[in-house]
Amino acid sequence: MLYHNLAKRRKRLWPESWRSTLRQLENAMNTSSRHRKYDIRMKVAASMVEVCDDRKDEDGLSFWQWVVLLLRCAGHGFTSDEEDMWYLDATSGSGSSHIPKAAKQVLHLKWRHRYFTKLFTFIEVTTGVEEMIFHQAGRPLMPQIHVEKESTWPPPPNRPKSFFNPSWLVNRSIVQWSALKLDDAEFILRDFERYMD
C-alpha cells in the first residue's frame, strides 16, 4: 500500500518537476545564446573602432565608440530570445520542391525600444560589408527570422529610459516603474542611417 501511494505520488509530481527542469534548461540555453550574441556584437563594434582609428575616420570612430558604450549600458539583457524553427526553402530546390531548413526565430521584446532591433541588424550586416576585416569561421550561421511573437524575458533594471519602448512604459504601474529602477541619465539614441551606404 505504501509503495502504491508513493508510485501515485511520483506520477503526479514528475510531470511538473520535469517541466520545471525543462524550463530551467531552456532559460540557461537562452541566457548563453544572449551572452554569445552580445559578445559577437561587442567584438564587431570594438573591431570597427580599431578599423576607423587606422583609417583616420573620425566620424566612424565616434560612432563605433558610441556603439560600444551603448552595448555596455544595455548589456546582454537587451538581446532577444531565439527559438529553433524549420522553414521550407524554395530557393535551394528545383521546380516545386521545397527543402526544410533550420533557422532561428527571433522573438519580440515588447519592452525594448525598436531602435535596438535596427541597430543590432546593422551591426550584423557590418560583418558582411566589411569582408576584408571579418571572416566567417566554422559552420555558417543559421538564418534569423524576426517574428512578432513576444518573449517572456523580463526587462533588466537600471537602464536609461530611452532604451525602453515608450508605449510600453506608459502602461506600467507604480510598482513596475520602481522595479525598473530607471537610470536618470539621458542616453541619446543616435541616427545611424547614413552609415548604411
Q: Is 172 helix (H, G, I), strand (E, B) or coil?
A: coil
Contact 95/133 with Cβ under 8 angstroms? Answer: no
Mean pLDDT of 57-79: 92
DSSP 116: H
pLDDT category at 87 given cuts 50, 70, 90 is low
- Checking if the pLDDT of 98 tops 70, the result is no
DSSP 90: S
Angle of helix 2-54 versus helix 114-129 axis, rounded to 10: 60
**pLDDT confidence of residue 59:** 92
In whole angstroms, give the CA distance from residue 70 to residue 89: 36
Q: Is 74 exposed, middle or buried (0-12, 13-18, 19+ CB in 10 A)?
A: buried
Dihedrals phi, psi of 114, to nearest 5 degrees: -60, -20
- Checking if the pLDDT of 63 tops 90, the result is yes
Scored b (16 or more CB within 10 A) or e, 123-153 reads: beebbeeeeeebeeeeeeeeeeeeeeeebeb
One-letter amino acid of 45: A
Selected residue with higher pLDDT from 105 and 92: 105
**What is the rounded radius of gyration, in angstroms, for the C-alpha atoms of the chain?**
22
- Checking if the pLDDT of 22 tops 80, the result is no
pLDDT category at 32 given cuts 50, 70, 90 is confident
Contact 146/106 with Cβ under 8 angstroms? Answer: yes
Task: Supply the mean pLDDT for the chain.
Answer: 75
Q: Which three cell numbers stand for residue 135?
A: 571572416
**pLDDT confidence of residue 165:** 93
For 20-29, 35-44, 47-56, which range has the lowest pLDDT when averaged over its residues?
20-29
Q: pTM to 2 decimals?
A: 0.70
Mean pLDDT of 78-89: 69
In whole angstroms, give the CA distance from residue 102 to residue 85: 6
pLDDT digits (tens, 9 = 90+) for 115-144: 998 898 888 888 766 555 655 565 666 666
Q: Which three cell numbers stand for residue 10?
A: 511520483
Mean pLDDT of 171-185: 88
One-letter amino acid of 142: M
